[in-house]
Structures are given as structure tokens and as C-alpha cells.
């Protein structure tokens, strides 16, 4: 299985070479889906047992390609951030007609009619040459509403390839190592504060490890923890030792998503490493080998060197400021 970092790099390459991702109006433009939960998994096939390709955040927009009725309900095949996969329909708000920014597309035929309204009977504004880049600003019954050189009109979606995703979308991150579980809402048992915090933390997967680092150009373990909590106005210590003195101590048996976890690689130091618990005995952290990644608490080193955990979220004195 590819690492989260390698898949993040792969996604960047896909954006640069996105001509391979054609979005067809005849098969793809059933509508626009907007994610209506904090985090939603996209899978390779229409099954909760299928491989997780990425996780989209609340408010992210996806193009609906086709439907599949399964025993557990309706699924949509979607194009999310230039990647195709399947999402549970109940976690998407669907519109067949919508004015919204959907990304940038490129014409993939020699000439494409640019029309005043979404119909083959509509007047033609002009012809767009192959390779023309269009800002897609809406969808109406399988036609894309686009802006080109100061004019707004409609094109048939089967003749364009998307080269960028909606600008409002969170960069969809791969959480294939998160764990199995039947639900496709990540952290369904977490508080809303923990869901928001961990959804944000997951957007940093793939950032490199740098000793002493405190920002996305490079994090060390405690710098990553501090950065994520600071994003939500919560102040925690800079070092792992300082963070271990924050909040309240919690037993391993009572861990909740958003708790801080600690390990030591020394017989004398109290702690030397920290991370954030996400559930299913998994945690997100800055690894010296892999950068920001997700790891199991049961992996050999971490199971042997575990020190303890503290809770920050919901603890008096640690409210967002």
C-alpha cells in the first residue's frame, strides 16, 4: 500500500498532468454533490470494504458520474479533486443545477461550440479551440457553465478535461492507513471539535519532517501538535515534555479522538515524541522517516515506548481563544 506522503505527491503530479481525467457530460454530469459531514471517505468501489482512496472535508464539491444501488443504500461514483471513486449518497447534498466554482477545464476536441444557454439549439457565441482553458462556474443538466475571455456561456461537458479542482475544496488526503470500520464518516464517534481538528491535521499529511520545524515547510513532532492546536486558538506547549504537562492525563483504555499521545526513546527523558490520537488505535504525527503520517499504536516501536496520554479538547482552560 502506498504511503500517505507518496500518494500526496502522486496527487500533485496528477494535477499537473490532469488531461487523463476526462469528465463526460453523458456519464459524469448527474449533478454536483456537496459533502455534508465533517469528513467523508471516497472508496475504490461502492462498498465499505473497498480501499479508501481519499477523504473529503465538509463543504467539498464533487462531480457525480453515475449511481449504484447497494444493500446499504445508494452510492455515487464521483470525481473529487481530479480522482474518481465512490461515496455514500446520504452524505452528499445533490444539485442538478448549481452556480458554483468547479475548477478549470481544458477543451479536448479540435473545436467546441460555446453557447448562450445549455442546449444544442442555443445560439453559438463562438468556437473554442483545443487546449482552451475555461473557468467552470456552474452546472445545468449536464452542461457546464463556463467563463472564457470575459464571456459566460455553456459547453457540453463530454468535450473537456478538468485540470484543477474547486478552489474551495480542502486538499483531499489519503487516509488508507486509518483503519477499517464500517462507516464512511471518519471519526464518527469523535466530538465535533475533534473531527474539525483532525480533518485539518490530515490536510498536512505529506509535509516533511524537520527537526525544530513548526510550519508546513517542515515539522518536528511537537511542532506539528502545537501548530494544529494553534489553528483552533488552543495554546499547548512547544516541546513534548511541555505538552505532557498540558490538559489532564487519560488512561490508554479511555482514549478519545483528539487526545495527545506520548512516547520516549530514552531511559532518562520523560518524553521524546508526541502525536494526536484519531481512533482505532491510530494516530497522526510527524515521523522522522515519513513526515506527517498516520501510524498504529500497535506497531513495534510505539507499542514498546508508549508513555501516556493527555486530553486537551473540552478541558477548562484550553478553550479556543
Q: Is the dihedral of CA 227, 282, 11, 170 positive or negative?
A: negative
Collapsing DSSP states into helix, strand and coil, what is residue 240?
Answer: helix
176 Ramachandran zone, left/alpha/beta (phi>0; psi -120 to 50): alpha
Question: Could you confirm whether 273 is annotated as catalytic?
Answer: yes
Residue 138 reports pLDDT greater than 80: yes
Residue 206 reports pLDDT greater than 90: no
Mean pLDDT value across residues 134-152: 93
**pLDDT of the residue at 16:** 32
For residue 153, report the phi and psi dihedrals to the nearest 5 degrees: -160, -160
Mean pLDDT value across residues 66-71: 94
Residue 160 reports pLDDT greater than 50: yes
240 Ramachandran zone, left/alpha/beta (phi>0; psi -120 to 50): alpha
**pLDDT of the residue at 186:** 42
pLDDT band at 17 (very low <50, low <70, confident <90, very high): very low
Answer for the pair 36, 102: CB distance below 8 angstroms, yes or no.
no
Quote the CA–CA distance of 5 and 241 in Å, as a whole number.
27
Average pLDDT, the chain: 82
Question: Which one is predicted more confidently, 14 or 311?
Answer: 311
Question: Could you confirm whether 231 is annotated as catalytic?
Answer: no
Question: Which one is predicted more confidently, 209 or 3?
Answer: 209
Distances (CA, A) of 118 to 98, 143, 155, 312: 13, 6, 7, 52
Q: Which of 80, 207, 221, 231 is catalytic?
A: 221
Q: Which of 29, 80, 207, 285 is catalytic?
A: 285
Q: Which of 29, 80, 207, 273 is catalytic?
A: 273
% of the chain at pLDDT higher than 70: 83
Residue 8 reports pLDDT greater than 50: no
Query: Three cell numbers at 316?
Result: 477548562
Look at 8-12, 130-134, 198-202, 278-282 and tell me which has the smallest mean pLDDT. Answer: 8-12
Overall pTM surpassing 0.85 (yes/no): no
Answer for the pair 279, 254: CB distance below 8 angstroms, yes or no.
no
Question: Which one is predicted more confidently, 183 or 74?
Answer: 74
**pLDDT of the residue at 10:** 33
Question: Could you confirm whether 80 is annotated as catalytic?
Answer: no
**pLDDT of the residue at 218:** 95
Beta strand segments in 59-171, E: 61-70, 73-80, 83-88, 92-95, 97-107, 111-115, 124-129, 133-140, 143-148, 151-156, 160-164
pLDDT band at 211 (very low <50, low <70, confident <90, very high): very high
Question: Which one is predicted more confidently, 309 or 184?
Answer: 309
For residue 85, report the phi and psi dihedrals to the nearest 5 degrees: -175, -165
Mean pLDDT value across residues 198-207: 86
Q: How many alpha carbons fall within 13 Å on the CB side of residue 247?
A: 25
Say how many C-beta atoms besides its own lie within 10 A of residue 295's C-beta. 17
pLDDT band at 288 (very low <50, low <70, confident <90, very high): very high
pLDDT band at 23 (very low <50, low <70, confident <90, very high): very low
Residue 14 reports pLDDT greater than 50: no
Residue 179 reports pLDDT greater than 70: no
Residue 302 reports pLDDT greater than 60: yes
Query: Three cell numbers at 4?
Result: 500517505
161 bridge partner residues: 22, 106
Give the tens place of pLDDT for each residue, 110-132.
999 999 999 999 999 999 999 89
Distances (CA, A) of 246 to 41, 236, 305, 316, 318: 32, 7, 20, 11, 9
Amino acid at each position: 500500500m502506498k504511503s500517505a506522503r507518496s500518494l500526496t505527491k502522486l496527487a500533485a503530479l496528477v494535477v499537473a498532468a490532469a488531461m487523463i481525467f476526462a469528465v463526460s457530460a453523458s456519464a459524469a454530469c448527474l449533478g454536483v454533490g456537496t459533502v455534508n459531514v465533517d469528513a467523508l471517505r471516497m472508496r475504490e468501489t461502492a462498498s465499505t470494504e473497498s480501499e479508501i482512496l481519499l477523504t473529503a472535508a465538509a463543504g467539498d464539491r464533487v462531480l457525480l458520474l453515475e449511481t449504484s444501488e447497494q444493500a446499504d443504500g445508494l452510492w455515487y461514483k464521483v470525481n473529487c479533486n481530479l480522482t474518481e471513486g465512490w461515496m455514500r449518497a446520504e452524505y452528499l447534498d445533490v444539485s442538478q443545477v448549481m452556480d458554483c466554482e468547479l475548477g478549470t477545464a481544458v477543451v479536448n476536441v479540435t473545436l467546441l461550440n460555446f453557447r448562450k444557454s445549455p442546449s444544442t439549439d442555443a445560439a453559438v457565441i463562438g468556437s473554442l479551440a483545443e487546449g482552451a482553458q475555461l473557468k467552470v462556474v456552474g452546472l445545468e443538466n449536464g452542461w457546464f457553465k463556463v467563463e472564457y475571455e470575459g464571456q459566460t456561456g455553456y459547453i457540453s461537458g463530454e468535450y473537456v478535461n478538468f485540470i484543477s479542482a474547486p478552489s474551495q475544496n480542502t486538499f483531499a488526503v489519503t487516509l488508507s492507513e486509518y483503519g477499517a470500520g464500517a462507516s464512511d464518516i471518519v471519526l464518527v464517534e469523535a466530538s465535533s471539535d475533534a473531527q474539525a481538528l483532525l480533518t485539518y491535521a490530515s490536510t498536512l499529511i505529506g509535509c516533511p519532517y524537520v527537526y525544530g520545524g513548526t510550519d508546513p515547510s517542515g515539522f518536528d513532532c511537537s511542532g506539528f501538535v502545537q501548530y494544529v492546536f494553534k489553528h483552533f486558538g488552543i495554546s499547548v506547549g512547544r516541546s513534548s515534555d511541555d505538552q505532557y504537562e498540558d490538559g489532564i492525563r487519560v488512561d490508554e483504555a479511555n482514549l478519545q479522538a483528539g487526545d495527545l499521545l506520548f512516547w520516549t526513546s530514552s531511559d532518562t527523558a520523560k518524553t521524546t515524541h508526541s502525536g494526536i490520537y484519531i481512533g482505532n488505535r491510530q494516530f497522526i504525527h510527524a515521523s522522522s522517516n515519513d513526515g506527517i503520517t498516520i501510524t498504529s499504536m500497535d506497531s513495534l516501536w510505539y507499542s514498546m515506548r508508549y508513555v501516556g496520554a493527555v486530553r486537551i479538547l473540552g478541558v477548562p482552560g484550553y478553550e479556543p481563544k
